Amino acid sequence: MLPEQQEQLLGLLGAAVKAVAPEATPTLLLERPKVASHGDAATNVAMQIAKPLKRNPRELAQAIVDALLAQPGAAALLESAEVAGPGFINLRFAPAAKQAVIDAIRVRGADFGRAPSNGRKVMVEFVSANPTGPLHVGHARQAALGDAICRLFAASGWEVTREFYYNDAGNQIHNLAISVQARARGLGPDHPDFPADGYRGEYISDIAADYLARKTVKAADAEPVTASGDPDNLEDIRKFAVAYLRREQDLDLQAFDLKFDNYYLESSLYTSGRVEQTVQRLIASGHTYEQDGALWLRTTALGEGDDKDRVMRKSDGTYTYFVPDVAYHVTKWERGYTKAINIQGSDHHGTVARVRSGLQALNVGIPKGYPDYVLHKMVKVMRGGEEVKISKRAGSYVTMRDLIDWVGRDAVRYFLIQRRADTEFVFDIDLALKQTDENPVYYIQYAHARICSVLGQWGGDEAALARANTSLLTAERELLLLQRLAEFPSMVQAAANDLAPHHVAFWLKDCAADFHAYYNAERVLVDDAELKLARLALLAATRQVLANGLALLGVSAPQRM
């Protein structure tokens, strides 16, 4: 049932409840029954209000059903309503209500499932890798999750900004620089003088070679950097290596077809004085104290769930890593992003309460729980029944580009989205390459291509489908597919609200299954011209919604396979 139809039905149900029990104030919800034979939707409203009203729930449910069916407009939406079990009300939608989705999809096309602008904006920060090496499979999962969440929010009416935060300050950058310097001086990763905490991937040798060759590199949203070629100039090496790896990460993201709107440098928080300003504001707030030569923040008293107070400035005068994070999130708020979402690995779990506590301590109007977080678990890559751990390019981990090279961008995006972010995931390379219904990407894309093939066999003018008599679509599989298509807009909104793009992946697989089952049960290109046109209209609508859903995941909708 389309959202507008569902809203109308809830209005009729509310009026029926008011007629039967004027004093009741229930929460009206429609849920899809787990067993299809129980109907198209169910509500427990009678069971909600029976106890406070001291009435029998089944008798109350029957009274609500009678009042509902007696209302003008009910017949256009409902075929039947009946009481089941201890007081559930099972509803069956009228065929005409289900058939209406075809016209709605035809009129809205690629915008079916999209909401109008709500005038609000959201920032989604994701990937945000240290510029110390190629993007790995964990970054790939962030990229897939973050981009899909951005697409869901855009479809839900938000103005969306994608931001990449570069951690280009700190000890890891120093280790990168001395690793490149060692390679520039001819020291291999196994040499006893190679830095103990250095980076050993083959890409370090590539950076060193280009540095000695005095090459120029340019990363997105940055000025070009030309190498001096001097192996003794560590600062020049650092600048070149960071720019080189930022450029490499740009290429990784291009292969993933992902573009960011903003790149924000951690180093700019120091050079602009924002870190020091934030520390001074926290001291002035009265939420800090000195102990053992260090400056602490009373995070336990700020209501964000931290289990102990946190050091802000260590005894050697350097800041702990959550301090620039707080300063960075102040900039998000000041830039007008009243909603901000961070996609990070589950190893960042400890930073959530610290950052939120720091923002609360500043007392600048930022609400509790800001920003939102989606924490994902890491990915295990399997091939031939064995775990893949080594990349020639990176040395010790599988990269994003490895995955794309092995199975293609579509499979990488879909597979990394199809599970809840907080669950561990095994990326099966062999499965992602299969051209069978075991591979969900192939299964969904094949449904789209299959429809394109049927419409091509028909060869008619698709504009003629607007004249189709959809009331002829009464077969069981047709009605199931129609109902699935009508759920799409509500599913998109729920997936955005829950920060759960895996809902889209599940829905697409279910929709493809409904289509394949329908296609195998009913002939489309029948002799009856009217019925043929109606069924072709249903296929065209299904094709459109499959394409819309795949687009939300950044996955293509091929016409041939």
CATH of the domain at 227: 3.40.50.620
- Residue 390: its pLDDT value, please? 66
| Helices of type H across 30-184 | 45-53, 57-69, 74-77, 95-108, 137-155, 171-184
**Spatial contact of 278 and 268, defined as CB atoms under 8 Å apart:** no
| Beta strands 262-265 and 288-291, pairing class | unpaired
Question: Does residue 155 share a domain with residue 73?
Answer: no
Candidates 309, 337, 326; CA nearest to 362 is: 326
Question: Does residue 258 share a domain with residue 399?
Answer: yes
Distance (Å, whole) CA 76 – CA 8: 11
**Spatial contact of 224 and 216, defined as CB atoms under 8 Å apart:** yes
Question: Does residue 143 share a domain with residue 177?
Answer: yes
- Residue 431: its pLDDT value, please? 98
Distance of CA 39 to the CA centre of its chain: 31
Question: Does residue 446 share a domain with residue 399?
Answer: no
Task: Give pairs for 453-462: CB < 8 Å, separation 24+.
Answer: 453/560, 454/524, 454/525, 454/536, 454/539, 455/536, 455/539, 455/540, 455/543, 457/525, 458/525, 458/532, 458/536, 460/536, 462/540
Distance (Å, whole) CA 24 – CA 209: 76
Question: Does residue 243 share a domain with residue 166?
Answer: yes
Residue with tokens 């899909």: 148
Would you state the structure tokens that stand for residue 11, as one six-digit string?
């209005």
Flag whether 349 is in a domain.
Answer: no
Query: What backbone torsions phi and psi does residue 215 show, to the nearest 5 degrees?
Result: -80, 165
Question: Does residue 509 share a domain with residue 450?
Answer: yes
Distance (Å, whole) CA 41 – CA 379: 37
Distance (Å, whole) CA 275 – CA 288: 15
- Residue 84: its pLDDT value, please? 95
Flag whether 115 is in a domain.
Answer: no
- Residue 169: its pLDDT value, please? 82
Question: Does residue 489 share a domain with residue 457?
Answer: yes
Flag whether 99 is in a domain.
Answer: no
CATH of the domain at 67: 3.30.1360.70
Question: Does residue 182 share a domain with residue 252?
Answer: yes
- Residue 394: its pLDDT value, please? 58
List the beta bridge partners of residue 165: 264
Question: Does residue 265 share a domain with residue 414?
Answer: yes
CATH of the domain at 479: 1.10.730.10
Chosen domain end from 415, 433, 451: 433
Full residue range of the structural domain in which residue 69 is found = 3-93
Question: Does residue 544 share a domain with residue 445?
Answer: yes
- Residue 167: its pLDDT value, please? 86
Would you state the structure tokens that stand for residue 519, as one six-digit string?
């296609």
List the beta bridge partners of residue 41: 91
CA 49 to each of CA 13, 82, 208, 320, 415: distance values in angstroms, whole numbers, following the listed order? 14, 18, 73, 54, 43
Question: Does residue 387 share a domain with residue 246?
Answer: yes
Flag whether 75 is in a domain.
Answer: yes
Distance (Å, whole) CA 36 – CA 295: 61
Flag whether 221 is in a domain.
Answer: yes
Distance (Å, whole) CA 125 – CA 163: 5
Chosen domain end from 433, 451, 470: 433
Q: Which residues of the chain have pLDDT under 50?
A: none
Distance (Å, whole) CA 297 – CA 286: 9
Flag whether 292 is in a domain.
Answer: no
Residue with tokens 């794309």: 404
Candidates 211, 205, 254, 131; CA nearest to 393 is: 205
With residue 313 as reference, give the H or E element that holds it: strand 310-313
Could you count the other beta carbons within 10 Å of the beta carbon of residue 457? Answer: 9
CA-angle at 221, arms to 215 and 223, nearest 5°: 40
Flag whether 388 is in a domain.
Answer: yes
**Spatial contact of 338 and 305, defined as CB atoms under 8 Å apart:** no
Chosen domain end from 417, 433, 449: 433
Flag whether 27 is in a domain.
Answer: yes
The total domain count for the chain is 3
Question: Does residue 84 share a domain with residue 181?
Answer: no
User: Residues near 99 by Cβ (< 8 Å), separated by ≥ 6?
Assistant: 470, 471, 473, 482
